Structure 1
Amino acid sequence: MNADALSDLVLLLACVGSWWYAGVERPAWRGAMVLLGLAAACGVLRFSGLEWALGPHRFASLLAACVAFLLTLAALRWPQGQLARRSSAVGRFVVLVGGVGVALSQILTPLWSQVIPGVSALLVAWTMWQMRSVMGMVFGAVLLASFAVAALMPADALLAGLFNRTQAFHYLLALAVIGLGTVLARPSPSPVPA
């Protein structure tokens, strides 16, 4: 297992842990963790040298980019909403929004799959600020940092002299998933002001 596969494995384990710890009665969060975890699992296979996993990894990553971060936002910003609390709503959302998102990414522009998670991450950070959750603000910033690394870091650069762009993105995203899941799992999160 190489370093890229290891970073995807860490992300997968973070998603599984957050799914289990924070996802009780939170279908939107569980849906987001399943989609991110599926992409990470395919990434482990791809970066371990299984060439057939390239296509599934790209598709799972694209689907997760188009849907998982919107589900994360719904779970954190509107925890009492239908999308956050109903599995059937999450299933319909994944099929409809995921299908439209994947189609737009393929037909119009690949940037669509970068805009959706980026805007979602900004809104997650804004939500944590509105809730005055210090822990949430820290991990919202980590989520933003993961996207900044993925978008701005040169492919051949090393973050902190240790991690390439792929590894840095995976580790930062894993940290954000665990941290935001911990914020979500608190017994009575402060509601977002209207």
Structure 2
Amino acid sequence: MSAQPSEQEFECAICKDCYTKPCCIQPCQHVYCFDCLQNLCLSLDPYCPQCRCYIESTSPAPHIERLMSRCIINCSDCNNSVPASKMKQHKSICPAVQRMQQILTQSAPTVLGAQSNVPNRSTFFCPYCNKANLLRDQLIQHCSNDHHNDLKKVVCPICASMPWGNQNLKSSNFLRHLHTRHKFDYDTYVDFEQDDDAMLHLAVQASLDDF
């Protein structure tokens, strides 16, 4: 008796969700979501994130779509059985996911009752593929693994979240910027209640101490 398929078998390596409109890369045949692949192909030298094969062309993968419509898999959060093609939709209403989000929201610290006004400086999104909720070190690892050949200029989400950050300034070499400017977590060293000059001085000093 064959094992039941899991979420991982239909997981897009870019967005880490089950495929939406699965498309196939030529010549390596790896499969990704249509939207994820579109963003990837916007780079000057598009390569497959899994095997680093140069992307010559892309095409729909109807065989994967048919397989997903037939396969019933268990949600990794609530263990309910869901068609693979409906898993991403299910996650948006999954009771277990909603409970976890509620717990995280309730356990988050508040400042003078104005939590909604406190900038998120703990997790970030990838400026290339928009993968969200990455810690600083996870963002560095993700970009090093999946985007080390991307040449597109992007805004650093870490810098943009800081009081002194410029949300419109694009880095010409984002990966090098990550490795040189973000070797530590700012909230470990920086008191955000201080003024901008004092925070910047502490951040620079901490960065130098890490060498």
Structure 1 length normalisation: TM-score? 0.26
- Between Structure 1 and Structure 2, which shows a larger proportion of helix residues? 1
Greater relative CO, 1 or 2 (CA 8 Å, sep 6+): 1
Choose 1 or 2 for highest CA Rg.
2
- Between Structure 1 and Structure 2, which shows a larger proportion of strand residues? 2
Structure 2 length normalisation: TM-score? 0.25
